A and B are shown apart, each in its own frame.
Chain A
């Protein structure tokens, strides 16, 4: 067995590879752990196993619109939100007006996707801690959302549904009733989930006071989304830097309060996701009320997209946090440079800082609580 002698203490330590094929690394992530018994002395994430050259492809495509399917494949758990960010960036570059109906459908889709993504994150988090059943309960609900997506977009995971200043196709006529039915049936399920998992005393024991991320560190590392809100910061781009039509809706930003442990621990990050699902339901309800029944789903835009020279950085709130697209245009038909700032990439980079001195079992909890998707980390 491979062993190293620590320089400082002279103690024998063990280097262990967690991943790339490990049940709890949420994809192909490799963590190089230096262990003393089961206590983690050092942790170094090794990434790149899923690198698919998104940025290079975005430059090589001869049309800006051809990049949209690739954005789906970054964070395959919340593909709609990835498309949303990209099309918003293009619309801002081209200074295009988006039809009202399109905006509403986009918001409904994005929020449904947020719920689906959180359900997966929560379920997988429970699974990491040995709770198998909540995972399947979450998946049952997620399945219903995917059914709605399938009828509206034709796909269940990678949709390619949003287009520049429009949508690929209009939603089907029963979309509204189907979605509001789902909203009604889903509300009680959140309570069920809370009873089964969130306030389970073993679950609390495993997550409270673990992987504490103080507010200052969170800002310094550029954390965003539920991870930042779990540290008690009221920061949500839908409110703080509104895009699309999010300024029209009334919803709260749930933040962690350290009610069962320290502020910014795994439980706080977890419960923020649960409460966000309720807020997403509120947004969906309001959007369903406000959505015009008739209207175009595609604005009149030139066939070839050629933005003027310049660059833009747009950011949107995906289920995982701030997704930024930095696009440089040089007046040609393809982008000069597209850089995707992925929230998971940023969150994973703080793993060594918050996992030092914890046990292997805690490492699993921490990785689960920051809810990374490796497709987005590696792009």
Chain B
């Protein structure tokens, strides 16, 4: 499809190409926000949104979005205006850009670069920058504290994330996520399991656990939601934001959540590969399986959010630097040894 389009009109081809992840993100955000509220309601013995749109309040997020668009865009008098206005868009741009190297299906990947994982990790680092930017530019002490917490947290948790990703790359032998997915096709492990990387090496199971904890922290989810911890820092770096700009933060955050979950799906759970080998395979089913795996991880993140309390800032750092980082590196070495021996 891509080649056909490129032959007709290269610019249109690029735009259409870029529009696919954007559409997925936007639709996903609307569904996920509604879904999170329904899941929260289910966990908390209540109904959640029930009114807007009729069936189980399905249009709630759309109504919220319309409300947010109409809201006044308040900028504090003493805020650093340019940075304040720019930060939410930069944050969303960073998450969005990272989707370029995610293979949604065997037929679609934004950009087939050989350094895919490296690019993804580099681009998501910009998120940290935009959070600090928002926190500092607001000229609000709570925002500043939130921004600083976030900087410390994201920079720290990038280390175990990268270490575990490295573990997978070590086994897979490629930085291109498409290649990583393709090599997970088939159903031969122990005779019946899919050839997903998580089943290839016992140390990749522990790597996944570390990876999952780290992405919880990376995407500011409970129990590591300190940058915006509502009950301590009011709303952290988002305190002064309103209307559309705040919605951008929200969108970026949900996009980030999806991005990291999809990365997890690619690295550990075979990406767009069907769990039943060739059955229900093919490019279109690829989208389905890939999104399903990603959304399942997102669901687990939501489940955790509505169950656990929040860590304190020093405990968070302790978990990262004295537990997760050493463990992830030990794990890396053990994985390598396993690969050499077997």
Name B24-45 residues within 8 Å CB distance of A.
40, 43-45
**A140-B231 in contact given A1-B141, A202-B309 (Cβ < 8 Å):** no
Residue of B46, B230, B310 touching A23 (CB-CB under 8 A) = B230
Query: What separation, in Å, do the CA atoms of A1 and B138 have in the docked complex?
Result: 11
Stretch at the interface among A128-136, A146-154, A174-182, A341-349: A128-136
Contact across chains for A362 and B312 when beta carbons are under 8 A apart: yes
A132 / chain B contacts, CB cutoff of 8 Å: 40, 44, 305-306
Contact yes or no, B223 A130, CB < 8 A = yes
> How many A-B contacts are there with CB distance less than 8 Å?
77
Q: Which of A16, A130, A197 contacts B229 (CB 8 A)?
A: A130
B44-A137 in contact (CB<8A): yes
Contact B309 A203 (CB under 8 A): yes
**For A38, what are the chain B residues with a Cβ–Cβ distance below 8 Å?**
145, 313
Question: CA–CA, A362 to B45, complex, Å?
Answer: 29
In whole angstroms, what is the CA distance A137 to B44 when docked? 7
Q: Would you call B298 an interface residue if the criterion is a C-beta within 8 Å of the partner chain's C-beta atoms?
A: no
Q: Are A129 and B234 in contact (CB under 8 A)?
A: no
Interface residues of A in 3-33 (CB under 8 A from B): 14, 16, 22-24
CB distance from B310 to the nearest CB of A (A): 3
The answer to whether the Cβ of B253 comes within 8 Å of any Cβ in the partner chain is no
Q: Which residue of A lies closest to B44 (CB)?
A: A136
| Contact A360/B232 with A1-B141, A205-B315 known, Cβ cut-off 8 Å | yes
Assembly CA distance A140 to B47 (angstroms): 13
Bound CA span A123–B307, Å: 13
Known: A14-B141, A203-B309. A361 touches B223 (CB 8 A): no
* Cα distance, A156 to B10, chains bound together (Å): 68
Distance between B307 CB and nearest chain A CB, rounded to angstroms: 6
Q: Which of B139, B233, B311 contacts A1 (CB 8 A)?
A: B139
Q: Is the CB of A130 within 8 A of B310?
A: yes
Q: Give min CB distance, A310 to chain B, whole Å.
A: 47
- Closest CB in chain B relative to A206 CB, distance in Å: 6
A359 at the interface (CB under 8 A from B): yes
Contacts of A197 in B (CB 8 A): 309
**Within residues 187 to 237 of chain B, which ones have a CB less than 8 A from any CB in chain A?**
222-223, 225, 229-234
Minimum Cβ distance to chain A for residue B186 (Å): 40
Residues of A within 8 A of B308 (CB): 130-131, 200, 202
Q: Which residue of B lies closest to A129 (CB)?
A: B309
Point out the residues of chain B lying under 8 angstroms from A128, CB to CB: 231
CB of B314 closer than 8 Å to a CB of A: yes
* Given contacts A16-B141, A38-B313, A206-B312, A130 and B225 within 8 Å (CB-CB): yes
Tell whether A364 is near chain B: CB-to-CB under 8 Å: yes
Is A127's beta carbon under 8 Å from chain B?
yes
Residues in chain A near residue B311, CB distance under 8 A = 202, 205-206
CB distance from B234 to the nearest CB of A (A): 6
Residues of B within 8 A of A202 (CB): 223, 308-311
- In this complex, the member of A23, A132, A197 whose beta carbon has the largest number of chain B beta carbons within 10 angstroms is A132
A 171-215 contacts with B by CB, 8 A:
196-197, 200, 202-203, 205-206
In the complex, A86→B69 CA distance in Å?
52
Contact of B231 among A14, A16, A129, A359 (CB under 8 A): A129
Residue in chain A with minimal CB distance to B224: A130
Inter-subunit contact A359/B306 (CB<8 Å): no
Cβ of B225: which chain A residues have Cβ within 8 Å of it?
130
Pick the residue among B222, B305, B306, B313 that contacts A361 (CB under 8 A).
B313
Select from chain B the residue with minimum beta-carbon distance to A364: B232
Interface of A is mostly: helix
In the complex, the answer to whether B145 meets A23 with C-beta atoms within 8 Å is no
Which chain B residue lies CB-closest to A197?
A: B309
Residue of A nearest to B318 (CB): A205
Question: Is A166 an interface position by the 8 A CB rule?
Answer: no
Question: Nearest-CB distance from A347 to chain B (Å)?
Answer: 19
Cβ contact of A140, chosen from B45, B232, B233, B234, cutoff 8 A = B45
Q: Mark A29-72, 1 if CB is under 8 A from B, else 0.
A: 00000000010000000000000000000000000000000000
Interface residues of B in 293-321 (CB under 8 A from A): 305-315
Q: Are A136 and B307 in contact (CB under 8 A)?
A: no
Q: Which of A1, A22, A205, A206 contacts B234 (CB 8 A)?
A: A22
Closest Cβ of chain B: how far from A120's Cβ, in Å? Answer: 15
- Chain B residues positioned under 8 Å from A130 (CB to CB): 222-223, 225, 229-231, 308-310
Give chain B residues whose Cβ lies under 8 Å from the Cβ of A258: none
Q: Which of A214-231 contact B (CB under 8 A)?
A: none
CB contact between B45 and one of A16, A136, A205 (< 8 Å): that residue: A136
> What residue of chain A has the Cβ atom nearest to residue B149's Cβ?
A38
Q: Which chain A residues border B233 with CB–CB below 8 Å? A: 360
Given contacts A23-B231, A24-B232, contact A136 B46 (CB under 8 A): yes
Q: Of all chain A residues, which has the CB nearest B223?
A: A202
Report chain A residues within 8 Å CB of B144: 1
Question: Closest residue to A14 on the B side, CB-wise?
Answer: B141
Any B CB within 8 A of the CB of A126: yes
**Cβ-neighbour of A200 out of B222, B305, B309, B312 (below 8 A):** B309
User: Mask for B249-270, Cβ within 8 A of A = 1, else 0?
Assistant: 0000000000000000000000
| A361 lies within 8 A of B312 (CB) | yes
Contacts of A137 in B (CB 8 A): 44-45
What CA separation (Å) do A1 and B80 show in the bound complex? 12
B149 to nearest A CB, angstroms? Answer: 8
Contacts of B222 in A (CB 8 A): 130
In the bound assembly, the distance between CA atoms of A200 and B311 in angstroms comes to 12
User: Which residues of B lie under 8 Å from residue A24 when comparing CB positions?
Assistant: 231-232
14 A-B residue contacts at CB 8 Å?
A1-B141, A16-B141, A23-B231, A38-B313, A132-B44, A132-B305, A132-B306, A136-B44, A200-B309, A202-B223, A205-B311, A205-B315, A359-B312, A360-B233
Top 10 closest A-B pairs, CB basis? A130-B310, A131-B309, A136-B44, A129-B309, A24-B231, A361-B312, A130-B309, A128-B231, A16-B141, A202-B309
Since A1-B139, A23-B234, A364-B231 are in contact, a sample of 15 more A-B pairs with Cβ atoms closer than 8 Å, ordered by chain A residue number, is: A1-B144, A16-B141, A23-B231, A128-B231, A130-B230, A132-B305, A133-B43, A136-B44, A136-B46, A197-B309, A200-B308, A200-B309, A205-B311, A206-B310, A206-B315
